[in-house]
């Protein structure tokens, strides 16, 4: 977030993080978050909009005047943590041209396994809910805000570390999912993704079926 000119502890930084996690918010939400007046919130929003990081649209809920709802701009999304996007895109394009898409998927699968080893070496939990919590902590150390589902059966990522690359090469999204699967030791289902326009990538543990057809949820044993 520092590359946006705001520290995570600043009012503007907290508003940006809130929008990362929730997708949108109104002035009253930010006032409660910062424990300041609506006027102080508007000052932060004026600066964020002037920098092109936040956009607003009117939303009507029942009678009365519509309220303004704020969200992050495409510029803000492009500034979240990522590394060497252009180089990676070019490398993937060349690899696909030379080796073929199947070979590139095989390579990315091996990369996901290596990333999983790096995470697993820093995790101590044995059951999935604990490992999800530890994974969330490690992801946030990478600059990727995340939260574990209240039921302990999934995790949401509120920023994409490969935002630009993933738009050109969806295989990169599969690599990240496979990495999480290797870390957890469970298959995951993807409900929505930032690449497809959602404000988070939402993964849940895949339900298993017993031989008699009953559904078995791995987390609740």
Domain match, 90 and 45 both: no
The CATH number covering residue 49 comes to 1.10.10.10
Domain-embedded: residue 202: yes
pLDDT band for 73, please (50, 70, 90 cuts): very high
pLDDT at 218 over 50: no
Domain match, 74 and 125 both: no
Tell how far CA 37 is from the center of its chain.
30
Which residue range forms the structural domain that includes residue 62? 2-79
Q: Which of 16-20, 59-63, 121-125 has the highest mean pLDDT?
A: 16-20
- Tell me the pLDDT tens digit for each residue of 121-136: 777 777 888 889 998 9
d(CA 32, CA 41): 10
Strand extents, DSSP E, the chain: 54-59, 67-72, 146-148, 154-157, 188-192, 201-205, 208-209, 215-216
The helix, strand and coil proportions of the chain, stated in percent and rounded to the nearest 5, come to 50, 15, 35
Question: What tokens does 42 get?
Answer: 């508007």
DSSP codes, 66-105 = PEEEEEE-HHHHHHSS---HHHHHHHHHHHHHHH-HHHHH
Domain match, 193 and 136 both: yes
Average pLDDT, the chain: 83
Q: Which of 28-32, 58-62, 79-83, 134-138 has the highest mean pLDDT?
A: 28-32
Domain match, 65 and 118 both: no
* Average confidence (pLDDT) over 159-172: 83
pLDDT band for 84, please (50, 70, 90 cuts): low
CB atoms within 10 A of CB 133: 15
Q: What is the pLDDT of residue 88?
A: 77
Q: How many domains does the chain have?
A: 2
Domain match, 61 and 144 both: no
Q: What is the pLDDT of residue 221?
A: 29
Contact 203, 179 (CB under 8 A): no
Contact 101, 172 (CB under 8 A): no
Q: What is the pLDDT of residue 53?
A: 94
The CATH number covering residue 92 comes to 3.30.1380
Query: Which of 63-67, 126-130, 174-178, 213-217 has the lowest average pLDDT?
Result: 213-217
d(CA 35, CA 87): 43
pLDDT band for 68, please (50, 70, 90 cuts): very high
């Amino acid at each position: 977030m520092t590359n946006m000119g705001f520290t995570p502890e600043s009012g503007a930084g907290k508003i940006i993080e809130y929008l990362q996690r929730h997708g949108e918010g109104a002035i009253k939400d930010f006032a409660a978050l910062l424990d300041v007046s609506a006027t102080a919130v508007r000052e932060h929003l004026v600066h964020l909009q002037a920098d092109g990081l936040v956009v607003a649209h009117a939303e009507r809920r029942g009678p009365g005047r519509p309220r303004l709802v704020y969200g992050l701009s495409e510029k803000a999304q492009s500034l979240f943590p990522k590394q060497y996007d252009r180089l990676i895109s070019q490398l993937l394009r060349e690899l696909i041209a030379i080796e073929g898409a199947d070979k590139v998927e095989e390579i990315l699968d091996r990369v996901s396994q290596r990333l999983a080893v790096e995470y697993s070496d820093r995790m101590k939990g044995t059951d999935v809910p604990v490992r999800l919590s530890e994974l969330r902590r490690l992801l946030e150390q990478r600059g990727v805000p995340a939260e574990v589902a209240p039921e302990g059966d999934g995790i949401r990522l509120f920023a994409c570390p490969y935002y630009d690359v993933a738009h050109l090469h969806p295989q990169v999204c599969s690599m990240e999912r496979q990495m999480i699967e290797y870390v957890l030791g469970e298959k995951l289902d993807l409900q929505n993704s930032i690449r497809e326009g959602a404000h988070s990538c939402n993964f849940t543990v895949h339900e298993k079926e017993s031989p008699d057809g009953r559904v078995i949820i791995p987390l609740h044993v």
